[in-house]
């Protein structure tokens, strides 16, 4: 799927002003064609590496002879590693050679997945999870690349389509890993499958990317200066502050729900195995597909309306799952609403911050996604504690509390949240 430019090309002056570390506006080239399908598939495969272990947690606990709470740390480690990779690696996309960067990250992730598959104990698995989740940050490089190449008129649509790939990758990966685990009799096979799929992208993804993302003629900001300038981006852009806070709250709620769901499904009276737990990911596919419309809706109505609607979906999903904790239909419906609301909120927020300037696209996305996945790590840790100590209803209530904080954040200086 290639989106052609809808603008006439505007020549770029050879002596264009250099962009500062926080985003002095430089003359932007006309939008270029972008292979949305290739980028969406690559995003789906790589983001799956964060989520496919979730239906396997109970099997990992049994296989390595550790407690459910220890196995649950895998989800927390994955979110924390992803946040670390976003901080240290994603800003490089503003200045680095994209093809070389993506090839290196894919190779490192594939190797870490193989180590995880062969892990003899929980500590090795946790360290391998930290390594692979740190390097599998390509989705957060591909999204600003696609948004910049598509241009302002189609930014929401393209971000929505890439977001659809990420949502499908995160949801279907649970189904695939659960089915693979059941069919093979070992949770390790799922890691092998993920390693092969990730390595396969080396043959496709680099060719779909431009050599560089930045504005031609703009100065190359040193790596240390880029990292040091990230907090200043929050000070300069009020919309980034609001979007980052909302993203953190919503993804914390999402992570609380999904990290605890596998244990809730495996416990009596439900007693489902990894395959059945992974099936819940398949049941949320319609919701994931529906979330693709968040992009065009954001272009038309603005981030504020779409964001508030999305938060309402998350709240409804949590209510369904909390009020009928042992009804599979209610749990599936709740999971679908949580996926739909989280994905739509992500698209709205990300489209907003990616409009702050081509020359800082990767860096503002770094700040936004760092906040988002920092919230995800907090949510996973909260789920491990709440579910182990108080059970399912208390865990859902914790997720609802994060959602309520997101509503308050979205309402704070609401004008800053509008497109």
Q: pLDDT band at residue 19, thresholds of 50, 70 and 90?
A: very low
Least confident of 51-65, 104-118, 263-277, 392-406: 263-277
C-alpha–C-alpha distance, residues 150 and 405, integer Å: 33
CA count, 13 A, side-chain hemisphere, 89: 26
34 confidence band (pLDDT: 50, 70, 90): low
Give residue 10's pLDDT: 39
Question: What average pLDDT does the segment 151-180 reach?
Answer: 81
- Assign 417 a pLDDT band (cuts: 50, 70, 90): very low
Hey, what are 162's tokens?
């890439």
pLDDT at residue 152 greater than cutoff 70: no
Calculate the alpha carbon distances from 407 to 246, 266, 301, 315, 402 in Å.
Answer: 8, 32, 18, 10, 9
Q: What pLDDT shows up at residue 140?
A: 86
Model confidence at 263, pLDDT cuts 50, 70, 90, reads confident
Nearest Cα neighbor of 32 from 4, 2, 1 is 4
pLDDT at 95 exceeding the cut of 60: yes
The pLDDT assigned to 26 comes to 44
Greatest mean pLDDT among 16-25, 78-87, 257-266, 319-328 lies in 319-328
Q: What is the CA radius of gyration of the chain?
A: 20
The encoded tokens of residue 246 equal: 């909302």
Whether the per-residue pLDDT at 416 is higher than 80: the answer is no
Task: Return the pLDDT at 8.
Answer: 38
Write the burial class of residue 156 (CB in 10 Å: 0-12 exposed, 13-18 middle, 19+ buried).
buried
CA gap 7, 30 in Å, rounded: 7
CA nearest to 101, candidates 113, 112, 90, 85: 90
Q: Average pLDDT of 104-132?
A: 94
Looking at 9-13, 81-85, 122-126, 168-172, which range is the least confident one? 9-13
Q: What's the whole-model pTM score?
A: 0.70
Instruction: Sort 271 into a burial class: Cβ within 10 Å, 0-12 / 13-18 / 19+.
Output: exposed
Tokens linked to 370: 């760092």
What is the Cα–Cα distance from 125 to 116, expressed in whole angstroms? Answer: 5
User: Measured between alpha carbons, how far is 156 from 295 in angstroms, rounded to an integer?
Assistant: 4
Q: Going by C-beta distance under 8 Å and a sequence separation of 6 or more, which residues neighbour residue 101?
A: 89, 92, 93, 141
**Is the pLDDT reported for residue 150 higher than 70?**
yes
Confidence band for 23, pLDDT divided at 50, 70 and 90: very low
- Of 87-91, 203-207, 253-257, 290-294, highest mean pLDDT: 253-257
Q: Could you tell me what percent of the chain has a pLDDT over 90?
A: 33
Which is more confidently placed, 291 or 255?
255
> Residue 242: how many CB atoms within 10 A of its CB?
25
Q: Are 177 and 57 in contact (CB under 8 A)?
A: no
* Whether the predicted pLDDT of 90 surpasses 70: yes
Q: Which residue has the higher pLDDT, 89 or 223?
A: 89
Q: What's the whole-number mean pLDDT along residues 128-149?
A: 89
DSSP label at 31? Answer: P
Tell me which of 10-24, 93-107, 127-141, 356-370 is least confident: 10-24
d(CA 183, CA 262): 18
As a whole number of angstroms, the distance between CA 109 and CA 194 comes to 10
- Predicted confidence (pLDDT) at residue 9 exceeds the cutoff of 50: no
pLDDT of 321 over the 70 cut: yes
Across the range 269-293, mean pLDDT stands at 79
Across the range 247-272, mean pLDDT stands at 90
Report yes or no: 314 and 254 within 8 Å, Cβ to Cβ: yes
Query: In the predicted model, is pLDDT for residue 125 greater than 60?
Result: yes
CB 174 within 8 A of CB 78: no
Higher pLDDT, 394 or 239: 394
Confidence of residue 7 (pLDDT cuts 50, 70, 90): very low
Give me the chain's average pLDDT, please: 83
CA 280 to chain centre: 19
Assess whether pLDDT exceeds 50 at residue 3: no
Peptide bond into 228 cis (omega under 30): no
- Kindly report the length of the chain: 419
- Tens-digit pLDDT profile for residues 327-351: 999 999 999 999 899 989 988 888 8
């Amino acid at each position: 799927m290639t989106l052609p430019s809808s603008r006439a090309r505007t020549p770029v002056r050879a002596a264009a002003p250099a962009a500062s570390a926080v985003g002095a506006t430089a003359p932007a080239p006309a939008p270029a064609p972008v292979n949305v399908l290739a980028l969406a598939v690559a995003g789906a495969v790589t983001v799956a590496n964060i989520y496919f272990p979730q239906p396997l947690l109970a099997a990992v606990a049994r296989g390595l002879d550790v407690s459910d709470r220890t196995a649950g740390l895998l989800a927390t480690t994955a979110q924390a590693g992803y946040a670390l990779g976003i901080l240290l690696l994603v800003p490089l996309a503003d200045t680095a050679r994209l093809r070389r960067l993506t090839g290196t990250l894919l190779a490192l992730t594939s190797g870490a997945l193989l180590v995880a598959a062969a892990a003899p104990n929980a500590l090795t698995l946790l360290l391998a999870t930290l390594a692979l989740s740190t390097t599998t940050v390509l989705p957060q490089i591909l999204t600003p690349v696609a948004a910049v190449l598509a241009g302002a008129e189609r930014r929401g649509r393209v971000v929505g389509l890439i977001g659809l790939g990420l949502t499908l990758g995160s949801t279907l990966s649970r189904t695939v890993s659960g089915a693979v685990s059941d069919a093979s009799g070992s949770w390790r096979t799922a890691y092998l499958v993920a390693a092969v799929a990730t390595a396969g992208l080396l043959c496709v993804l680099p060719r779909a990317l431009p050599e560089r993302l930045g504005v031609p003629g703009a100065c190359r900001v040193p790596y240390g200066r880029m990292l040091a300038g990230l907090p200043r981006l929050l000070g300069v852009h009020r919309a980034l502050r609001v979007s980052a806070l909302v993203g953190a709250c919503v993804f914390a709620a999402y992570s609380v729900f999904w990290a605890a769901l596998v244990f809730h499904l495996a416990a009596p009276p439900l007693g489902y195995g990894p395959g059945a737990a992974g099936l819940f990911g398949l049941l949320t596919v319609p919701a994931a597909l529906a979330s693709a419309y968040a992009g065009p809706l954001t272009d038309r109505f603005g981030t504020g309306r779409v964001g508030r609607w999305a938060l309402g979906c998350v709240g409804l999903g949590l209510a369904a799952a909390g009020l009928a904790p042992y009804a599979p239909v209610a749990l599936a419906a709740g999971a679908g609403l949580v996926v739909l609301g989280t994905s739509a909120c992500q698209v709205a927020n990300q489209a907003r911050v990616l409009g702050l300037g081509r020359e800082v696209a990767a860096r503002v996305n770094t700040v936004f996604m760092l906040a988002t996945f920092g919230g995800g790590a907090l949510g996973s840790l909260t789920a491990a504690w709440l579910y182990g100590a108080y059970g399912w209803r208390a865990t859902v209530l914790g997720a609802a509390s994060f959602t309520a904080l997101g509503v308050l954040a979205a309402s704070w200086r609401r004008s800053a949240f509008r497109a």
